[in-house]
Amino acid sequence: MSNKILLASLVIMVGLIGVMSWKVKSASVLGAATRGEAISLFTNPNPLRTGQATFIIEVRGEEGKLIDNASVGFDLNMTTMNMGTQQGSAVFQSKGRYVATGNLTMRGPWRIRTKVTMPDGSTKNKDFVVNVP
Ligand SMILES: [Cu+2]
């Protein structure tokens, strides 16, 4: 094999590995995980199904630091019709994660609205739309 072909194959392999690792990182997180302040949502089960579901809300502050002393409120309803709003406070678990539960009584699109009060008193809201197949 010539050096040029070897070099070309190496470049392609490194490129492929880069694309693959990017896909793995972005697979399970709903909502952008950025280096700065961010609210992310994980669900259990994933994918969702009708019935009880657990919503894990992860809160990051500046420079992506996990925030343990926030206060996290949520409400839950369908986007396409009013099913009655389920709401409450998510309970702190660990490492910037707060847990809420809800009852997904129907298939279709549901909106989880989060209301986060950071330790410094500033507030951040973020909505997530999830589908129950
Ligand atoms: Cu409905």
pLDDT in tens, 59-102: 999 999 999 999 999 999 999 999 999 999 999 999 999 999 99
- How far is ligand 1, taken at its centre, from the CA of residue 109, in Å? 8
Q: Are residues 21 and 41 in the same domain?
A: no
| Sheet order of strands, 91-94 included | 38-44, 51-60, 97-104, 91-94
CA 125, CA 23: separation in Å to the nearest integer? 27
24 and 36 in a single domain? The answer is: no
Distance 66 CA to ligand 1 centre (A): 34
- Do 82 and 39 share a structural domain? yes
For residue 31, which amino acid is it?
Answer: G
Same domain as 47, residue 22 = no
Q: What is the mean pLDDT of residues 13-29?
A: 43
Q: Are residues 88 and 124 in the same domain?
A: yes
Residue 58 has pLDDT above 50, yes or no: yes
Report whether pLDDT(41) > 80. yes
Tokens of 93: 């678990």
pTM attached to this predicted model = 0.74
- CA 110 to ligand 1 center in whole angstroms: 9
Q: Do 104 and 118 lie in a common domain?
A: yes
Same domain, residue pair 54 and 113: yes
| 19 and 46 fall within a common domain | no
Q: Which domain holds residue 78?
A: 31-132
pLDDT of res. 67: 97
**Distance (Å, whole) CA 5 – CA 121:** 58
Distance 41 CA to ligand 1 centre (A): 21
User: Cis peptide before 109, with omega less than 30 degrees from 0?
Assistant: no
DSSP SS3 for 122: coil
Question: Number of folded domains in the chain?
Answer: 2
Of 12 and 94, which is predicted with more confidence? 94
Whether 70 and 80 share a structural domain = yes
Q: Report the separation in Å between the CA atom of 39 and the middle of ligand 1, taken as the mean of its atom positions.
A: 26
What value does the mean pLDDT of the chain take? 84
Q: Are residues 25 and 48 in the same domain?
A: no
Which amino acid would we find at residue 92?
F
What pLDDT does residue 28 have? 44
Task: Please state, as a whole number, how many other Cβ atoms lie within 10 Å of the Cβ of residue 53.
Answer: 21
